[in-house]
Amino acid sequence: MLREYVPVLMIFALSLGTALLMVIGSHIFSQYRPTPVKSQPYESGIPALGDTRERFAVKYYVVAMLFLLFDVEVVILFTWAVVFKRLGLFGFVSILIFLLLLVIGLLYEWKKGALEWD
Amino acid sequence: MGQLSTTAFLISSALKVLGVFTIWLLAVAGVTLAERKVAAWIQDRSGPNRVGPWGTFQPLADGLKNFVKEENLPAGASRWLFYLAPVISMFPAFVVFAVIPFAAPLATPWGGVNMVIADLPIGFLFIVALGSLGVYGLVLGGWASNSKYPFLGGVRASAQMISYEVALGLSLVPILMLSGNVSLPGIVHQQQQSLWFVLPLLVGLLFFTISYFAETNRLPFDMPEAESELVYGFHTEYSAMKFAMFMMAEYSNLIIASALIVTFFFGGWDIPFWTGDDLRYAADGSIAGGQSAWWITLLTGLAYALKVGFFVFLYIWVRWTVPRFRYDQVMALGWKILIPLLVVYIIVLGAVMLLLEGAGITFGTRYLLWLTALNLILMLGIMFWLDRSRIIVGTGWRQMRPQQAKPRG
């Protein structure tokens, strides 16, 4: 029923309110006296070298792309798993084919070295 | 006794939300203290013992101190994201509990009250959806700081958490296959009627626990903050209350992980070997399965707290016992071991379940005992197969042993 969602909105409002109150409250109650040295980014005590927001390893992008593929797979598996007992053998064979395709994909990524970190 | 009227429903919901939220905040404070106390106990020292009896009021003192301390804003940081990141981190950690049942339903003069904040028909998806929002807080916090260590911590956190998101999702599939519904009170009820799912899904529990350790960034997998490499990881630049909020989010996630393990595998609020608590809330507001009483609700709530407390302790215990993995080992464990093994596990489980149905055994204790036997065999197989540096480089016992000195002749 739709009214079951009202408490969810309540706890959303409560958590968000508490979190915002903490940030704003501590902003009001605490002191802030910045000095150029104090507001330097921490880099083990030496002056910061270069810019932080440069390019970084492409590995992370590859992992993100793999994640997209496999997470969609998981979502499809969820829907299948809920009705698994009703679908019976037909559903099982279908999901076997589906999983086979994805496992081939995973093996391909593995052999191509997309999962290696060095 | 029937369904609650709208007013009574709103009042009972508001009371439940406020009650659970208060207990939750206290529990988070308690876990921060428990972490330090257990650490001290394991390392044979005293731990916090100055504020109040046995240091009980330490979290209170910490909170007050964090509230009035100077908050730092690093030069060049993205101001709004920097302030927003702790909020985004804390928000999902505090709302996921909304769909987890925590006690037996209670009959009141105004109608039956289900002891879960929101009995959503999509409770399972709610957890998966909101649980994965936490990664935004970490990544934004790392990115907004404009500092190198937090930045590295942030990208590591994102890669690790989304990798284990897949393994976590896959380890939830066996539960859905066995229970056949996505409502958490329904899953708890099925476990009450038959066996706790820890037995028929033993291998699933193993994978679920490992994935959740990685998902909450707890120690064997705490790549995002690895203090020996990244100073303090994604929240190096945070101070005062915003730092405390990241900590609260972390410990809140820890409790959620324990609560989920208990709900999915250890019968939720069920008291074992006692049929008096097999109560079930029906949609029309009636409570089936026995006589409801306030003391049953209270007892089951306590049993639930006890079980969750045990798993929180397990988390802390592991943190102070096991050393940290290397980053490549963590990623290899996720992609090369957990995901393929989980796919195999799902297929084997599905095949055996179909065989059992074909043999005319319907869902019940006998059915689950057969699955238990299967899981024990699979568990043995995994124990034998256990990776010895074949897939994850550098974890094998061969490398750990010092080279045998050749006898000089």
N residues, chain B: 409
Backbone angles phi, psi at B223, to 5 degrees: -55, -40
pLDDT at B390: 67
pLDDT at B409: 53
Q: What does the pLDDT look like over B189-206, one tens digit per residue?
A: 888 888 888 888 888 899
Q: State whether the Cα torsion B227-B171-B166-A12 is positive or negative.
A: negative
pLDDT at B83: 87
The secondary structure element, H or E, covering residue B28 is helix B6-42
CB A39 within 8 A of CB B74: yes
A106 band by pLDDT with thresholds 50, 70 and 90: confident
Q: What is the DSSP string of chain A?
A: -GGGGHHHHHHHHHHHHHHHHHHHHHHHHS-----TTTTSPPSTTSPPPS-SSS---THHHHHHHHHHHHHHHHHHHHHHHHTHHHHHHHHHHHHHHHHHHHHHHHHHHHHHTTT---
Q: Is B287 left (phi over 0), alpha (psi -120 to 50) or beta?
A: beta
pLDDT at B214: 87
Q: How far apart are CA B94 and CA A15, in angstroms?
A: 6
Which residue in chain A is spatially nearest to B177 when comparing CA positions? A81
Q: How far apart are CA A54 and CA B267, in angstroms?
A: 49
pLDDT at A1: 62
Q: What does the pLDDT look like over A8-60, one tens digit per residue?
A: 888 899 999 988 988 888 888 877 888 887 777 777 777 777 777 777 778 88
pLDDT at A24: 87
Task: State the pTM of this model.
Answer: 0.87
Q: What does the pLDDT look like over A15-24, one tens digit per residue?
A: 999 889 888 8
Percent of all residues in chain A with a pLDDT value above 90, rounded to a whole number: 4
- A23 contact residues in B (CB cutoff 8 A): 83, 86-87, 241-242, 245
Q: How remote is the C-alpha of B220 from its chain's centroid?
A: 15
Identity of the amino acid at B129: A
Interface test with A, best of B16, B132, B177, B182 (most A CBs within 10 A): B177
Show Cβ contacts of residue B391 under 8 Å, excluding neighbours closer than 6 positions. B332, B336, B337
Interface test with B, best of A5, A10, A79, A86 (most B CBs within 10 A): A10
Distances B301 to B151, B296, B308, B396 between C-alpha atoms, Å: 42, 8, 11, 44
pLDDT at B321: 86
Q: How far apart are CA B304 and CA B199, in angstroms?
A: 19
Tokens found for residue B337: 């071991």
A75 Cβ under 8 Å from any chain B Cβ: yes
Interface test with B, best of A2, A22, A96 (most B CBs within 10 A): A22
Q: How far is A65 from chain B (nearest CA, A)?
A: 10
ipTM for the whole complex? 0.86
Give the pairing of strands B111-113 and B106-108.
Answer: antiparallel
- Among A63-67, A101-105, B228-232, which stretch is predicted with the lowest mean pLDDT? B228-232
The residue ranking higher by pLDDT, B198 or A1, is B198
- CA proximity to B164, closest of B334, B336, B341, B392: B334
Q: What residues pair up with B112 in beta bridges, in sequence order?
A: B107
- CA proximity to B262, closest of B317, B205, B207, B218: B205
Backbone angles phi, psi at B350, to 5 degrees: -60, -45
- A32 contact residues in B (CB cutoff 8 A): 70-71, 73
CB B260 within 8 A of CB B93: no
- B236 contact residues in A (CB cutoff 8 A): 42
Placement of tokens 């208990």 in the chain? B262
Tokens found for residue B306: 């006890």
Question: Environment class of residue B258 by beta-carbon count within 10 Å: exposed (0-12), middle (13-18) or buried (19+)?
Answer: buried
> What residues of chain B score a pLDDT lower than 50?
none
